[in-house]
């Protein structure tokens, strides 16, 4: 009897049911779309941080910033020999530690001994600047009137030759690339883990001091490098054993070599620029950070949260809008949809006074009438949920299909290092890092949890609407129906 009457009443009031279901569907669809877009932005931010960080890295330790003008922060100088042969090519290069400041390799062990640290590995980030070119000697061109007399300098033949040097100059090409010295015995942490080996192989644990290298695919394409060829770093030749491709954005470095080799070419024996740290418990990152800062002086500890604060651009703006305006908007629409559904259901009950009064006169209890109204509202809510989920999934799919590109600009971290400070992205403690922009394609993944939330909202919407109408229906009396008949 319950379901028969329910089906008949829903069919008889199709327009009213569609209005209630559509209102709930709009709110539920908006919740799904906003939640999926927010999830996509969170994934995009993780990709941005991983391109700097290295997978599994929770924080980095770098040397504390030096005072402006401190020793060791001078600009690089290039010197060329004077040569008689003007066609002789001049070439010189400089290997510079990024950030101009380093930590002792023993710092890695000290960090690893701190409570809450699961693993720690050191790396050395370098910038190599190579200058190639040649000088061209200028030619002296004599003025045609020189030495004709009558002018200053005396009579015939008594004057100095007059003219000027024309032509000549210098033409030099500056080639700058980044090198990262990686600890080949611990390759689970550090910037190289944010790239995948697409050709050749990665380092072997036994190649701690071998002259081998892994190059980034973009740099390899630019310089026409491949597995089996060689790359030269400050006069030292390294055999390319692998080519890597960054998971997202730009690679952490152009060339990766074993840490000991990087220390040798940079004349930085037993030195590192960055210690990458993995915490034993992701919930205790702040505690681990405080312990390292307290127990190891002269260092700066930067977590992923600290680095995320430096990310700006459209990704950061859109993420802020989705987490604030978008969420509040979806909540407001959902609340409005619930209220409208409740009011429409209550209004429908008021138009059915004669019907419910007659049913009570025939022996229906108030509870049975209330259950009937709640059942109708619940079905409307479930219909709205199905429609809302369909619209929400379509909206999320459309966002993923379009894949709008958002930019994430990693602004300067200033004198303090930061995650990018001593890392291979450039800059580092003691100087301001250059801004870096990454393009990230936005997706809108819909999780099972989001679908379950949508179903819950549909049920809640139906129950709230049913509560409005049921309360109104329970207060009706048979006498109300008799007055309407009269």
In this predicted model, which residue has the larger pLDDT, 207 or 188?
207
Domain ranges of the chain: 2-51+314-485, 65-200+256-281+291-297
Residue 264 pLDDT:
93
Q: Percent of the chain at pLDDT above 70?
A: 61
Residue 320 pLDDT:
59
Burial class (CB in 10 A: 0-12, 13-18, 19+), 179: buried
Closest CA to 127 of 47, 181, 167: 181
pLDDT at residue 311 above 80? no
> Whole-model pTM?
0.56
Interatomic CA distance for residues 240 and 257, integer angstroms? 9
- Mean predicted confidence (pLDDT) in 186-203: 88
Residue 295: which pLDDT band, with cuts at 50, 70 and 90? very high
Residue 13 pLDDT:
72
- List the alpha helices (DSSP H) in 85-138: 106-112
In this predicted model, which residue has the larger pLDDT, 295 or 377?
295
Residue 308 pLDDT:
60
Asked whether the CA dihedral 191, 195, 196, 197 is positive or negative, the reply is: negative
pLDDT at residue 128 above 80? yes
Residue 422 pLDDT:
38
Closest CA to 425 of 411, 439, 415: 411
67: DSSP letter: P
- List the alpha helices (DSSP H) in 63-216: 106-112
Residue 187: which pLDDT band, with cuts at 50, 70 and 90? confident
pLDDT at residue 71 above 70? no
End-to-end CA distance of the chain: 29
Q: Which residues fall within 8 angstroms of residue 209, CB to CB, at 6 or more apart? A: 258, 260, 261
433: DSSP letter: P
Closest CA to 296 of 424, 56, 112, 58: 112
Quote the mean pLDDT of the chain. Answer: 74
Residue 273's alpha-carbon distances to 59, 101, 194, 221, in angstroms, are 14, 7, 18, 28
Chain position carrying tokens 């990686």: 182
Residue 211 pLDDT:
95
Residue 49's alpha-carbon distances to 59, 75, 165, 249, in angstroms, are 11, 29, 56, 10
Residue 443 pLDDT:
80
């Amino acid at each position: 009897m319950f379901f028969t009457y329910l089906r008949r009443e829903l069919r008889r009031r199709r327009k009213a049911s569609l209005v209630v279901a559509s209102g709930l569907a709009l709110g539920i669809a908006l919740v799904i779309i906003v939640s999926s877009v927010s999830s996509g932005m969170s994934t995009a931010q993780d990709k941005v941080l991983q391109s700097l960080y290295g997978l599994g890295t929770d924080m980095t330790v770098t040397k504390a910033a030096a005072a402006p003008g401190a020793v060791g922060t001078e600009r690089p100088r290039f010197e060329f020999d004077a040569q008689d042969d003007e066609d002789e090519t001049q070439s010189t290069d400089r290997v510079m530690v990024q950030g101009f400041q380093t930590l002792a390799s023993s710092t890695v062990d000290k960090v690893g001994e701190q409570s809450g640290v699961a693993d720690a590995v050191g790396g050395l980030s370098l910038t190599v600047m190579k200058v190639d070119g040649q000088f061209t000697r200028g030619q002296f061109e004599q003025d045609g009137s020189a030495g004709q007399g009558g002018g200053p300098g005396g009579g015939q033949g008594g004057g100095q030759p007059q003219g000027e040097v024309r032509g000549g100059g210098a033409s030099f090409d500056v080639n700058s690339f980044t090198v990262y010295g990686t600890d080949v015995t611990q390759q689970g942490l550090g910037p190289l883990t944010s790239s995948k080996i697409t050709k050749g192989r990665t380092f072997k644990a036994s190649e701690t001091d071998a002259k081998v290298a892994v190059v980034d695919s973009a740099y390899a394409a630019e310089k026409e490098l491949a597995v089996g060829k060689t790359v030269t770093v400050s006069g030292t030749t390294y055999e390319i054993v692998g080519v890597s491709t960054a998971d997202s954005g730009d690679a952490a470095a152009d060339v990766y070599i074993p840490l000991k080799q990087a220390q040798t070419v940079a004349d930085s024996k037993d030195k590192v620029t960055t210690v990458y740290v993995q915490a034993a418990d992701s919930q205790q990152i702040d505690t681990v950070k405080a312990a390292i800062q307290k127990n190891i002086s002269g260092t700066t500890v930067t977590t992923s949260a600290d680095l995320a604060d430096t990310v700006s651009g459209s990704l950061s703006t859109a993420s802020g809008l989705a987490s604030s305006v978008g969420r509040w908007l979806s909540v407001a629409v959902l609340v409005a949809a619930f209220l409208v559904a409740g009011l429409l259901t209550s209004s429908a009950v008021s138009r059915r006074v004669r019907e419910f009064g007659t049913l009570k006169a025939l022996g229906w209890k108030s509870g049975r009438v209330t259950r009937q109204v709640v059942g109708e509202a619940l079905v409307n809510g479930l219909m709205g949920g199905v429609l809302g989920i369909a619209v929400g999934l379509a909206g999320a799919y459309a966002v993923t299909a379009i894949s709008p590109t958002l930019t994430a600009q990693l602004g300067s971290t200033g004198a303090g290092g930061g995650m990018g400070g001593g890392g291979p992205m450039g800059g580092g403690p003691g100087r301001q890092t250059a801004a870096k922009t990454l393009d990230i394609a936005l997706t809108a993944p819909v999780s099972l949890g989001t679908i379950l939330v949508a179903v819950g909202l549909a049920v809640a919407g139906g129950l709230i609407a049913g509560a409005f109408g049921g309360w109104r229906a329970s207060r009706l009396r048979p006498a109300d129906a008799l007055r309407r008949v009269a």
